Structure 1
Amino acid sequence: MLSRRFASSTRGFATKVTAKEFSGKVSTLTVKVNAGSSVASKDGLAHLLSRFNFHNTTPRSALRLTRESELLGGQFESKVDRESITLSAKFLAESLPYYVNALGDVLKSTSFRPHELPESVLPAAKVDAASANACPVFKADELLHALTFRSGLGAPLYYDGVQKISLEDIKEYAAKVYTQSNIEIIATGVNQADLTKFISDSVFAQLPAGESLAAKAAPKTFEGAETRFRSAGQSVAGVAVPVKAADYATYQVLTSYLNSALSTLNVEAKFSQYSQVGLFTIIAKSSDATAVAADIKAAVAQLKAGLDLSAAKALAATELALAEETTGVKAVDVAAVKDFKLGKFNYVAVGDVNNLPFADEL
Structure 2
Amino acid sequence: MFSKVSVRSFATSIPRAVKVSTTPSTAPSAVSTLKVIIKNAGSKSGPAGLPHLAAASSFLDTVSKTGLRLKRESELLGGEYKSSITRDNIVLEANFLKENLPYFVNVLGNVLTETQYKPHELKEIALPYASAVSYGASSTPSFAALEELHAISFRKGLGNPLYFDGSKSYTSEDVAAFAKSAITSESVEIIGENVVEADLSNFVKQSAFSSLPEGTTSIKAEQKTYTGVESRVRKAGVTSAVIGVPVSPAQTSAYSLLAAYVSANLQDPHTASVETKVAKYDSASLFYVSVSSSNAAEVSALITDAAKLIKSGADLSAYKSLASYQSGVSVSSAPSTVSVSALNLAVVGDIDAVPHVDEL
Q: Is 2:305 the counterpart of 1:298?
A: yes
- Could you say what secondary structure the match of 2:195 adopts? coil
1:168 corresponds in structure 2 to 173
- 1:320 to partner: Cα distance: 4.1
2:359 corresponds in structure 1 to 361
**Residue identity opposite 1:334 in structure 2:** S
* Cα separation, 2, equivalents of 1:189 and 1:339: 42
Note closer, same or farther for the CA distance 1:88–1:281 as it changes in structure 2 (3 Å cut): same
- Could you say what secondary structure the match of 1:308 adopts? coil
Q: Is 2:153 the counterpart of 1:155?
A: no
- 1:174 to partner: Cα distance: 1.1
Give runs of aligned pairs for residues 71-86 of structure 1, distance below 5 A.
Answer: 71-86=76-91
Residue by residue, what CA displacement relative to the aligned partner does 1:128-185 show, whole Å, maximum 9, x if unpaired?
1111110111111111111111111101111122222111101111111111111111
**Residue identity opposite 1:124 in structure 2:** Y
* Cα separation, 1, equivalents of 2:333 and 2:213: 43
- 1:263 to partner: Cα distance: 4.5
**Residue identity opposite 1:338 in structure 2:** S
Note closer, same or farther for the CA distance 1:141–1:4 as it changes in structure 2 (3 Å cut): closer
Unaligned runs of 5+ in 1: 322-330
**Residue identity opposite 1:17 in structure 2:** V
1:99 corresponds in structure 2 to 104
Unaligned runs of 5+ in 2: none
Residue by residue, what CA displacement relative to the aligned partner does 1:295-335 show, whole Å, maximum 9, x if unpaired?
111111122223332232113323444xxxxxxxxx35434
CA-based RMSD of the aligned residues comes to: 2.0
Q: Is the 8 A contact 1:13 1:200 kept in 2?
A: no
Note closer, same or farther for the CA distance 1:206–1:253 as it changes in structure 2 (3 Å cut): same
Note closer, same or farther for the CA distance 1:345–1:154 as it changes in structure 2 (3 Å cut): same
- 1:21 to partner: Cα distance: 3.0
TM-score under structure 2 length normalisation: 0.91
Note closer, same or farther for the CA distance 1:320–1:230 as it changes in structure 2 (3 Å cut): closer
Q: Is 2:261 the counterpart of 1:238?
A: no
Q: Is the 8 A contact 1:250 1:334 kept in 2?
A: no
* Cα separation, 2, equivalents of 1:16 and 1:115: 34
Q: In the alignment, which of 81, 84, 93 is matched to residue 88 of structure 1? A: 93
Matched length: 350
Give runs of aligned pairs for residues 1-362 of structure 1, distance below 5 A.
Answer: 4-22=7-25, 23-34=28-39, 35-40=41-46, 42-211=47-216, 216-260=220-264, 263-264=266-267, 266=269, 267-321=274-328, 331-362=329-360
**Residue identity opposite 2:324 in structure 1:** A
- 1:345 to partner: Cα distance: 1.4
Residue by residue, what CA displacement relative to the aligned partner does 1:75-96 show, whole Å, maximum 9, x if unpaired?
2110011111100111122111
* Cα separation, 1, equivalents of 2:226 and 2:66: 46
Percent of aligned pairs with the same residue?
40
Note closer, same or farther for the CA distance 1:309–1:3 as it changes in structure 2 (3 Å cut): closer
